[in-house]
Amino acid sequence: MQLSDLVFYALAAFTIIAALGVVALPNIVHSALCLVLTFIGVAGIYFYLGADFIGLIQILAYAGAISVLMIFAVMLLLSRDVSESNPSHKKGKYLAALFSGLFAFLLALSIYSTSWDLTEGAEIVDSIGKIAYMLMGDYVIAFEAAAILLLAAVIGAVILARGEEKR
Amino acid sequence: MSIGITHYLILSTILFSIGIYGVLAKRNAVAVLMSIELILNSVNINFVAANRFIAGDGIMGQLFSIFIIVVAAAEVAVGLALVIAAVRQKKSVNLDDYNILKW
């Protein structure tokens, strides 16, 4: 086993443990902080894969913006005792664990039994430049549609969170 | 055995299953949104890994994961606004309390 393999396993273990913390911890503030750790671990996986731009976007958008939004909402909605603010269903969680475990097992089985047609090319250099050319070239319609989607989401979020007008 | 595509797919499978568990088992609405973020992240890992190991020197997978991040940001903004609006009416974040057929 090489050192680079160990880095992958460490990153994967960090990500999975943090993700388990998101669903297992009884305090939702701790869950939100574990979510930030999960995002950073996934960003490390992207860096390990050579996708530097995606890793940076992951840290900027997910670990920066989305998790701050989550923590903001948690603080806004918290009204009672924080230590029991993230409960699970009492019986339903065993059923959910069974279902998701079975799902993961079946998916892993099918991943192992598939023969992947790997055509590993050269290491991707200058991914930012290629992404920029594609975003402003072939995929400019999708790029503009994403911009309109974000605008619609901003307006919708403001209108929804402001509540009804008092008449 | 060096790190291949199966390692990444297994990692994203585990993350996806943890997200599924969270969606099914948690009772706090914000926790369910967090679990959906876990699911979207696992899909992103799949895209970037496939881009590295299957697509050759193209960069389509990374491009699509950018779009997924954009859609996730929009989803989380609208979702949290919906939760805030619902909590203002019901005075509870517990999903079991949302048991009415008509608002």
The string of pLDDT tens digits covering residues B10-59 is 999 999 999 999 999 988 889 999 999 999 999 999 999 988 888 666 78
Domain count of chain B? Answer: 1
Q: What is the mean pLDDT of residues A116-127?
A: 71
Q: For residue B26, give its domain range.
A: 5-97
Q: Is residue A119 part of a domain?
A: no
Burial of A137 (0-12, 13-18, 19+ CB in 10 A): exposed
Q: Is residue A32 part of a domain?
A: yes
Predicted local distance difference test score (pLDDT) of residue B39: 95
Predicted local distance difference test score (pLDDT) of residue A156: 92
The last residue of one of the domains, among A83, A108, A133, is: A108
User: Which residue of A1, A2, A49, A109 to mutate against B (max B Cβ within 10 Å)?
Assistant: A49
Q: B18 and B45 in contact (C-beta within 8 Å)? A: no
Share of chain A above pLDDT 90, in %: 50
Q: Rounded CA gap, A67 and A141, in Å?
A: 29
CB proximity B8 to A under 8 Å: yes
Select from A70, A92, A142 the Cβ nearest to the Cβ of B34: A70
Between A37 and B93, whose confidence is greater?
A37
Q: Is residue A76 part of a domain?
A: yes
Asked if residue A125 has pLDDT above 70, the reply is yes
SS3 B94: strand
Q: Is residue A118 part of a domain?
A: no
Predicted local distance difference test score (pLDDT) of residue B9: 93
Residues of A in contact with B73 (CB under 8 A): 61, 65-66, 150, 153
Q: Name the token pair of A134.
A: 């594609």
Q: Is residue B42 part of a domain?
A: yes
pLDDT digits (tens, 9 = 90+) for A134-163: 889 889 999 999 999 999 999 999 998 887
Q: For residue A143, give its domain range.
A: 125-167
Provide the whole-model pTM.
Answer: 0.90
Which residue blocks in chain A are alpha helix, DSSP H?
3-24, 28-48, 52-57, 67-77, 92-113, 127-136, 140-162
Between B14 and A89, whose confidence is greater?
B14
Predicted local distance difference test score (pLDDT) of residue A165: 67
Average pLDDT in chain A? 88
SS3 A24: helix
Chain B residue with the nearest C-alpha to that of A67: B34
CB proximity B93 to A under 8 Å: yes
Q: Is residue A116 part of a domain?
A: no
Between A116 and A149, whose confidence is greater?
A149
From residue A29, give the alpha-carbon distance in Å to each of A36, A80, B29, B40, B54: 11, 13, 13, 21, 39
Q: Is residue A117 part of a domain?
A: no
Cα angle A50, A55, A59; round to 5: 160
Residue count of chain A, please give it. Answer: 167
Predicted local distance difference test score (pLDDT) of residue B80: 92
Residues of A in contact with B34 (CB under 8 A): 22, 31-32, 35, 70
Select from B20, B54, B59 the Cβ nearest to the Cβ of A131: B59
Predicted local distance difference test score (pLDDT) of residue B40: 94
- Do residue A81 and residue A131 come from a single domain? no
- Do residue A20 and residue A92 come from a single domain? yes
Q: Is residue B40 part of a domain?
A: yes
Domain count of chain A? Answer: 2
Query: Which residues 31-60 of chain B have a CB within 8 Å of chain A?
Result: 31, 33-35, 37-38, 41, 44-45, 48-49, 51-60
- Do residue A131 and residue A104 come from a single domain? no
Cα end-to-end distance, chain B, whole Å: 56
Predicted local distance difference test score (pLDDT) of residue B96: 83
Chain A residue with the nearest C-alpha to that of B29: A86
Chain B residue with the nearest C-alpha to that of A32: B34
Q: A66 and B37 in contact (C-beta within 8 Å)? A: yes
Between A97 and A87, whose confidence is greater?
A97
Q: Is residue B102 part of a domain?
A: no
So what's the ipTM on this one?
A: 0.91
Q: A147 and A153 in contact (C-beta within 8 Å)? A: no
What's the gap in Å between the CA of A86 and the closest CA on chain B? 6
What's the gap in Å between the CA of A88 and the closest CA on chain B? 4
Q: Rounded CA gap, B13 and B18, in Å?
A: 9
Query: How many CB atoms are closer than 10 A to CB B13?
Result: 22
CATH at residue B44: 1.10.287.3510
- Do residue A140 and residue A104 come from a single domain? no
Residues of B in contact with A100 (CB under 8 A): 17-18, 20-21, 24
Predicted local distance difference test score (pLDDT) of residue A123: 67
pLDDT digits (tens, 9 = 90+) for A23-73: 998 888 899 999 999 999 999 999 998 888 999 999 999 988 998 989 888
